[in-house]
Amino acid sequence: MDIEQKGTPVVTQMQVIPVAGYDSMLMTLSGAHAPWFTRNLVILKDSAGHTGIGEIHGGDYTCEALKSCIPLVLGQPIGKYRTILNSIHKAASRAKEDDGEGIQTLDISKLKFVVKAEWAIECALLDLLGKHLGLPMCELLGEGKQRDEVETLGYLFYVSEKEKACKDLDYLDERGSSDPWFKLRRQEMLTPERIVEQAQVLHEKYGFGNFKLKGGVFTGEEEMEAIRALKKSFPKGRINIDPNGAWTLEEAIKICKPMEGILTYIEDPCGPESGYSGREVMAEFKNAVNLPVATNMIATDWRQFYHSAALKSVDIVLADPHFWGFGGSVRMAQILNDWGMTWGSHSNNHFDITLAAFAHTAAAAPGNPTALDSHWIWQDGQNLLEDTPVIKGGYLQVPQKPGLGVSLNMKRVMEANDLYNSLPCHDRDDTMAMQYLIPGWKYDCKSPALVR
Ligand code: GKR
Ligand code: MG
């Protein structure tokens, strides 16, 4: 029998476009978010005339890494996307400055080593392959599509007031907006009352019933006041706090023990100390406190995960596809589900392309994932897509069309590229804005940002 070899379309063009968007003065252990954040986009075209897109963290390091992949992607058949990614992995070498510590102390300068640029290429290739096959991306991952909508949490932040920091910092002012969330999100919110107001406005707009508060800003005791107030307002809500390892083991136990039954779980309460890695210290925390523990800091690759699992340091792994890859994140979801553990995804600031990609990844995660974590609500409105996925009733709707199921608005993309090109710096720097609030402020992984 003569079987015709048709093959899949080949990649004919790869563009890397760095972009920027606006942000609020969000507070975290690492300082204060600058008025802008950066991302890198990958746009692929194939010989069938389709476009595939991917988005990943910003900064020159990641941008250069993506550009260096172009010769390995051009001319390749999209059906061999695994081979393409493998050739990228084989060509990659570890940066000289990468000491392998990862982000277990939330040193933001090391995030670029945990993020792998090629996952933006994986996303764009899966987008193309899905279009070729007429299937949504989630059907190409793991065991295929598990759900049509993905539970998402309201990601709450303490926000400082730019006016108090420096009038010259170019944060957006949305006080004139008719949308209650847009109106609120750039204003100062530093008290438990304001955090509850934030949650209520988010609940009204997106229907969130579950919340995560970014901690590491005030003392743990003060932050737990906000958690208690949230639980009072949302008694059925699952409430989590993430201080990014700001507390010592002793502090974490003291702060969290009284919160059993109030917090649903706790994310990275402590980290490395006294010569022990975050994986060892979190295991000791788990032995002392009856709360499930989540991480996006101590298990960011398979080797770290091996040690975390062996030590039983965590219950919930927030497997961000930008760290693990899309296939890798779903592989993690499969393993966790088989082992009776829980999958979720971590995020940093991102545009709506990542929102669509997260939707497909979570749609393919088997079992009962924890509500998805996304910063996107802080960027809602600055969309780069014609058809941004919608969050309603607390659930992110998974695009139904083939591939990622969304299409780029190139005018918006080029505006975001213009903003990027106008910036003084392309890397995330939470110290810059922080030093306007507290002159001379320096990052210390064991001192909450506003406790100095
Ligand atoms: O973007 O400010 C932020 C977050 O605090 C981020 O740096 C964390 O990586 O969201 C993240 C987390 O869950 O740890
Ligand atoms: Mg976290």
Give buried/exposed letters for 21-56 (b at 16+ CB in 10 A, else e).
bbbbbbbbbbbbbbbbbbbbbbbbbbeeebbbbbbb
Q: Which residues are annotated as a binding site for substrate?
A: 33, 105, 155, 212, 242-244, 296, 346-348, 375, 428
Specify the pLDDT at position 394. Answer: 98
Domain with CATH 3.30.390.10 in the chain: 3-138+411-420
Specify the pLDDT at position 165. Answer: 64
Specify the pLDDT at position 429. Answer: 95
pTM: 0.96
Q: Which amino acid is at 126?
A: L
CATH class as words, domain 3-138+411-420: alpha beta
Distance, in Å, from the CA atom of 399 to the CA atom of 138, rounded to the nearest integer, reads: 9
Mutation test residue for ligand 1: of 242, 270, 376, 443, the one with most atoms within 8 Å of CB: 242
Residues with CB under 5 A from ligand 2 (ion): 242, 267, 296
For residue 241, the CA-to-ligand 2 centroid distance in Å is: 9
Q: Which fold has domain 141-404?
A: TIM Barrel (3.20.20)
Asked if pLDDT for residue 161 goes beyond 90, the answer is no
Specify the pLDDT at position 4. Answer: 56
Distance, in Å, from the CA atom of 304 to the CA atom of 104, rounded to the nearest integer, reads: 10
Report the pLDDT averaged over residues 415-437.
95
Task: Beginning with the edge strand found earlier in the chain, give each strand of the sheet holding 293-295 in spatial order.
Answer: 154-156, 211-214, 239-242, 265-267, 293-295, 316-318, 342-344
**Cβ-contact 349, 108 below 8 angstroms:** no
For residue 62, the CA-to-ligand 2 centroid distance in Å is: 21
Residues facing residue 39 across a β-bridge: 19, 57
CA quadruple 432, 435, 437, 442: dihedral sign? positive
% of residues, the chain, pLDDT over 90:
94
pLDDT in tens, 233-257: 999 999 999 999 999 999 999 999 9
Q: Residue 153: nearest ligand to its CA? A: 1
Asked if pLDDT for residue 209 goes beyond 70, the answer is yes
Mutation test residue for ligand 1: of 152, 244, 432, the one with most atoms within 8 Å of CB: 244
Report the pLDDT averaged over residues 421-436.
95
Choose among 345, 309, 342, 348: nearest CA to 324.
Answer: 345
Compute the chain's Rg from CA coordinates: 21
For residue 67, the CA-to-ligand 2 centroid distance in Å is: 29
**Band of the pLDDT at 149, cuts 50, 70, 90?**
very high
Distance, in Å, from the CA atom of 415 to the CA atom of 316, rounded to the nearest integer, reads: 38
Asked if pLDDT for residue 6 goes beyond 80, the answer is no
Q: Which atom of ligand 1 is closest in space to residue 26's alpha carbon?
A: 2
Q: Whose CA is nearest to atom 3 of ligand 1?
A: 348
Distances (CA, A) of 13 to 16, 44, 64, 82: 10, 6, 17, 18
Distance, in Å, from the CA atom of 354 to the CA atom of 120, rounded to the nearest integer, reads: 9
Strands (E), 143-275: 149-151, 154-156, 211-214, 239-242, 265-267
pLDDT in tens, 29-72: 999 999 999 999 999 999 999 999 999 999 999 999 999 999 99
Domain with CATH 3.20.20.120 in the chain: 141-404
pLDDT in tens, 262-278: 999 999 999 999 999 99
Distance, in Å, from the CA atom of 197 to the CA atom of 189, rounded to the nearest integer, reads: 9
Q: Which atom of ligand 1 is closest in space to residue 103's alpha carbon?
A: 9
Q: For residue 101, give every residue at least 6 positions away whose Cβ sits within 8 Å of its Cβ, in sequence order, or none.
A: 107, 110
Task: Give the residue numbers marked as catalytic.
Answer: 214, 346
Average pLDDT, the chain: 96
Distances (CA, A) of 46 to 52, 73, 357: 8, 11, 20
Report the pLDDT averaged over residues 177-201.
97
